[in-house]
Structure 1
Amino acid sequence: MIRDICKDLLFLRRKSELATPDDLPIAADLLETLMAHADGCVGMAANMIGVSKRIIAFDDEGTYRVLFNPEIVKKSGSYEAEEGCLSLSGTRKTKRWKNIKVKYQDEQFRERFKTWTGLSAQIIQHEIDHCEGIII
């Protein structure tokens, strides 16, 4: 189900709770909502659809991915980026990392580790910020 985009700053500033297997329907809604906004959006966190859970969905170089409870465990190569967000108006400058290693759970809630670089790494960092209640 395509959900409305949350723009409530008080809600978006809350740290999200850990996701569980019961949250799989939320992930499906998140992915469907992201795909509906594909013309202007490359990633979303669950709080952007009004659900305070640690779930992100993003376009990983043409493949949509969903990560549960993502956490950056290693990072290198800082740079300054400028980003926009469906939940906020305009763009903002922020510090990002070129390379990140992420610990997360897949759809079966198995623990995984993966290293991302470039735009995918930047998108993941933006969405993890959402999970942490950080608004750039």
Structure 2
Amino acid sequence: MIRPILHDPIFLSRPSRPATKDDLAVARDLADTLSAHADHCVGLAANMIGESVCILAVLDGSRVRVLVNPEITKHSARTYQTEEGCLSLPDTRPTERYESIEVRYRDEAFRKQRGKFSGLVAEAIQHEMDHFEGKLI
């Protein structure tokens, strides 16, 4: 189900809790919502649709990839400065990101996964994971 995007900075500033199997409907809604915004958005965190759980969705090529409870296990030594926008917030903000990351996560069926990401996908994952901590980028 496509859900509305939340714009409340107080709610978005709250840390998210780890997701459980009971939260997998949120993962499906997040994927549907990202697909509906794919022409102008590359990633969403669950709190952006009103759910304070550690689930994100990111466009990886033409595929929507869902990461439940993602954890960065390794990252490149190199970083870069960038300006990021957010569907929940106006304007862009400067930030620093790793060029590439390795992530341990569960997929939309709650199966354990690992992935290596670089470029815009890695940047989007890092941005959405900041939402889990209540950081507004």
Q: State the TM-score, normalized to the length of structure 2.
A: 0.95
Question: Unaligned stretches of 5+ in structure 1?
Answer: none
Partner in structure 2 of residue 125 of structure 1: 126
Identity, % of aligned positions? 56
Partner in structure 2 of residue 16 of structure 1: 16
Alpha-carbon distance between aligned partners in 1 of 2:27 and 2:68, rounded to the nearest angstrom? 9
C-alpha RMSD over aligned residues: 1.0
Partner in structure 2 of residue 43 of structure 1: 43
Alpha-carbon distance between aligned partners in 2 of 1:107 and 1:38, rounded to the nearest angstrom? 19
Q: Secondary structure at the match of 1:93?
A: strand
Matched to 2:39, the amino acid is D
Equivalent residues in 2 for 1:73-92, closer than 5 Å = 73-76=73-76, 77-92=78-93
Partner in structure 2 of residue 113 of structure 1: 114
Question: Unaligned stretches of 5+ in structure 2?
Answer: none
After the TM superposition, which of the residue ranges 107-116 and 9-18 deviates more from structure 2? 107-116
- Encode CA deviations 1:33-85: one digit per residue, 9 max, x unaligned: 11111111110000000000000001012211001001112111110011111
How many residues end up aligned between the 2 structures? 136
Structure 1 stretches of 4+ with a deviation exceeding 4 A read none
Alpha-carbon distance between aligned partners in 1 of 2:110 and 2:66, rounded to the nearest angstrom? 11
Matched to 2:131, the amino acid is H
Partner in structure 2 of residue 30 of structure 1: 30
Task: Check conservation: 2:28, 2:108, Cα contact below 8 A.
Answer: no
Q: Secondary structure at the match of 2:99?
A: strand
